[in-house]
Amino acid sequence: MLTKRIIPCLDIRDGKTVKGVNFVNIREAGDPVELGAAYAEQGADELVFLDITATIEGRNAFAELVKEIAAELNIPFTVGGGISSEKDVSLLLEAGADKISINSAAVIEPGLIDRIAKNFGSQCVVLAIDTRFDRNLWQVYVHGGRTPTERYAPEWAKEAVERGAGEILLTSMNHDGTKNGFALDITKELSRSLPIPVIASGGAGTEEHFYDVFTKGEADAALAASIFHFGEIPIPDLKKYLHEKHITVRL
């Protein structure tokens, strides 16, 4: 059985780690370089850093931060936020990122996935999907969850795989920050239908939620933010719990 991954996510605004609920009500959570190093020490399998207020002017500043992060980490990490061109990808990979996450730009211009996969390899392309369950459908949103699109998560994920995405980062906006558990149904649907790993995101609040998303949701990895940032669930305790429940994790 493949090892299930635990991935803390650090949303970064103006160089600081922040966290919100349902994509709003943002509060600060600490220095991203220090937090990232601490998570690596605690046994996180990977990290995700998202520049949530990415702008053209801020891209170079974020690349400098990525260099600082890379110098401190000994585990893989993904960076995202406002990436819209091969130039952005090149800059961030050269700064030390292992993978890049694309979202809005890929929905607007799907060919971006093809070009990044062709130029840099599918293994570094993580397609982030922000989706909200409404009227019995999982609708895809862009621009930090502010703008609904005419796409739906299952079909969009399938197209992204065909274009060369190597992983799907699936965030349920209904569950994000609520600590009521992951969106198990859509996670299971994508995990079963896609030939690439699915990372579940949005809703982690207890150790049991991780167990559920790995078993009922069949996710390959689970991502969370506030429960790690504010010390509610220490990563070593979570992994011990999962190991005792016969989930294969790296201890």
Convert the pLDDT of each residue in 36-79 to its tens digit: 999 999 999 999 998 877 654 556 778 999 999 999 999 999 99
Residue 23 per-residue DSSP state: T
Residues 6 or more apart whose Cβ sits within 8 Å of residue 42: 234, 235, 236
Annotated catalytic residue 88: no
Q: Report helix, strand or coil for 84.
A: coil
Round the average pLDDT of the chain to a whole number and report it: 92
Q: Residues 155-180: what's their mean pLDDT?
A: 96
- Residue 23 binned pLDDT confidence (cut-offs 50, 70, 90): very low
What is the crossing angle of helices 207-215 and 235-244, to 10°? 50
Q: Which pLDDT value is given to residue 27?
A: 59
Catalytic residue among 45, 51, 88, 130: 130
Report yes or no: 112 and 88 within 8 Å, Cβ to Cβ: no
pLDDT tens for residues 184-211?
Answer: 999 999 999 999 999 999 999 999 999 9
Domains of the chain: 5-244 (3.20.20.70)
Q: Which pLDDT value is given to residue 229?
A: 84
Q: Which pLDDT value is given to residue 145?
A: 86
Q: State which of 131-145, 201-215, 225-239 shows the largest mean pLDDT.
A: 201-215
Please say if the pLDDT value at position 175 is more than 70: yes
Please tell me the least confidently modeled range out of 22-26, 63-67, 204-208, 234-238: 22-26
Residues 6 or more apart whose Cβ sits within 8 Å of residue 202: 171, 172, 173, 174, 175, 176, 177, 182, 183
State in Å, rounded, how far the first CA of the chain is from the last one.
15
Q: Which pLDDT value is given to residue 85?
A: 94
Catalytic residue among 11, 51, 88, 220: 11
Nearest to residue 127, comparing CAs of 186, 199, 188?
199
Annotated catalytic residue 130: yes
Please say if the pLDDT value at position 29 is more than 70: no
